[in-house]
Amino acid sequence: MSVSVVIGAQWGDEGKGKIVDMYSAKADVVMRYQGGHNAGHTVWVNNTKYVHHLIPAGIIHKDVLNLIGNGVVVEPHALIKEIKELSDMGISLSGRFFVSDRAHIILPYHIAFDKRREEMKGDKKIGTTGRGIGPCYSDKINRAGVRIGDLLNPALLREKIGEQIEFLNATAVNIYGIPPFNLEEMLNEIKKYSEALKPYIADTAVIVNDAIAENKKIMLEGAQGTLLDIDFGTYPYVTSSNG
């Protein structure tokens, strides 16, 4: 058994995608373990361009199992789009790709708050991509997040978001000066995500531990670089997760 980790030594864009592509061909499992769809890898194989924002680059290799771990924050629309793009290119994901039921979901209010907060900072803005990454991690730590596994339980999902909607709308209107959110519209949109992602939701911790026990080769795919690490990077100009 061996577990290898590919991490950028600077701020990202060091060519990690190429390294992951090369070594994942020899791996049994490739797992993305942190970050969101603000990062990713671009890989060229036989003059074909593959762009990965959430799904590990190992998906190109047909015998490799690919996982999104619980440390990642997932924007459902972005993940569904990526699944479709790969499927349209003839890459089968069935039985070869799973997303952790414990990974947190980026919801519309995360994106709206992220963009507005950055606008309000003016010249002191951090440079966030405005994709809701930071607010989603904030909710995770604040124990107010919604997880991928919640998509399988509509009643629980309604309860979780319903409990927060008053606070979310008060924040939207009174602090950020943006329109309030409609709970029913949000739940209807999320229902579409649930149907599309249901086949891929799994307990990836069990899958990885089983692979370790079976002495399989595992590669952990980092999305950013060391200097973007929330603790050891160039704070506050960092990402919202450990690198």
Q: What is the per-residue pLDDT for 40? A: 67
Taking the C-alpha atoms of residue 239 and residue 243, their distance in angstroms, rounded to an integer, is 8
Cα–Cα separations (whole angstroms), residue 191 to 75, 98, 148, 196? 14, 19, 12, 9
Taking the C-alpha atoms of residue 217 and residue 165, their distance in angstroms, rounded to an integer, is 44
Tokens of 38: 């603000």
| Spatial CA neighbour of 35 closest among 117, 104, 90, 125 | 104
Q: What is the per-residue pLDDT for 41? A: 67
Taking the C-alpha atoms of residue 31 and residue 34, their distance in angstroms, rounded to an integer, is 9
Q: What is the largest CA-CA distance in the chain?
A: 54
The one-letter amino acid at 216: K
| Spatial CA neighbour of 239 closest among 137, 155, 105, 94 | 137
The mean predicted confidence, pLDDT, of the chain is 89
pTM comes to 0.91
Tracing tokens 């149907």 back to the chain, one arrives at 195
Tokens of 226: 């060391």
Cα 192 to its chain centre, rounded Å, is 18
DSSP E strand boundaries for the chain = 2-8, 29-32, 41-45, 48-52, 65-68, 73-74, 97-100, 104-105, 201-202, 217-225
64-101 pLDDT tens trace: 999 999 999 999 999 999 999 999 988 989 999 999 99
223-242 pLDDT tens trace: 778 888 889 998 988 888 88
Tracing tokens 């919202």 back to the chain, one arrives at 240
CB-CB neighbours of 74 under 10 Å = 23
Catalytic residues: 13, 41
Element (H, E) at 78: helix 76-88
Tokens of 63: 């015998």
CB-CB neighbours of 84 under 10 Å = 11
Q: Kindly tell me if the per-residue pLDDT of 204 is higher than 70.
A: yes
Q: What is the mean pLDDT of residues 163-169?
A: 95
Taking the C-alpha atoms of residue 52 and residue 67, their distance in angstroms, rounded to an integer, is 13
Q: Kindly tell me if the per-residue pLDDT of 1 is higher than 70.
A: no
Taking the C-alpha atoms of residue 119 and residue 108, their distance in angstroms, rounded to an integer, is 17
| Spatial CA neighbour of 4 closest among 25, 18, 23, 22 | 23
Tracing tokens 């990642």 back to the chain, one arrives at 72
